[in-house]
Amino acid sequence: MPHHGNEEEHNTSAGQQNTQGNGQEPVIRDNRKVDPVTGQARHPEGGQPSGTGSPAGAADSDGDALAQAEEILNGVDVPAEESVAQGAPAGSTGNAEAAELRNDLLRLQAEYVNYRKRVERDRAVAGEMAVIGVLNSLLPVLDDVDAARQHGDLTDGPFAAIATKLENALKTYGLVRINETGVEFDPTIHEALIQQPGEDIEVDTVSQVLRSGYKSGERVLRAAQVIVAVPA
């Protein structure tokens, strides 16, 4: 068919007619070397520009996403049943917390036992010191009773009975009199006021007690004042 005018327009019209006749839409190819949207250069072969949509860039993006997801998951507390489902050791966190609580309980129990022992020991010491204080305050009274007995004032009568009851009551609190003679001199319980030579004496010996001494248990309340016989 003869045609007039521009051949390019004729070709385009012919292509459109052929497309319409075939029932297919026209295919438009954009061969511009610069992307009008991003402004980046296109590959001559029609590939994607470097850095955008490349496999390396996709890998970096995937790596960042995985790192962020891992960081988020590490900061989340996963319940025990979920940990079992994911393959984590069952009750590992719970066992650690239980062990820590058990150690705290044992430490508190030990502290309580030590505290109770210390309180009982302090209570016993306080009671002993109270008894010793009372006994020390009664020693002058006992000295008067001894003096009255030596002078024969307590041989009989109500005062003798009272003195005997007082001495027996004090014995129940551990009071022991130190008034023995003929025993070896012991500086821990004896106070030597006079020394005199003695016959057939090999060691220092208590020959006479001038004032009785007293002790309570292993504690010496007052040393006995004595006369000591020494070897000649």
Residues 71-123 have pLDDT tens digits of 554 544 444 444 444 444 545 567 888 888 888 888 888 999 999 999 999 99
Under DSSP, the state recorded for 41 is: B
Q: What is the pTM of this model?
A: 0.50
- Report the mean per-residue pLDDT for the chain: 75
The pLDDT of residue 79 is: 44
Sheet holding 205-211, edge to edge: 190-198, 224-231, 205-211
Under DSSP, the state recorded for 229 is: E
Between 131 and 32, residue with greater pLDDT: 131
Q: What does each C-alpha distance from 136 to 54, 127, 217 come to in angstroms?
A: 103, 14, 14
| Tens digit of each residue's pLDDT (9 = 90 or more) over 115-137 | 999 999 999 999 999 999 999 99
Identify which of 19, 220, 37, 33 has the alpha carbon closest to the alpha carbon of residue 136: 220
pLDDT over 90 at 193, yes or no: yes
pLDDT over 70 at 26, yes or no: no
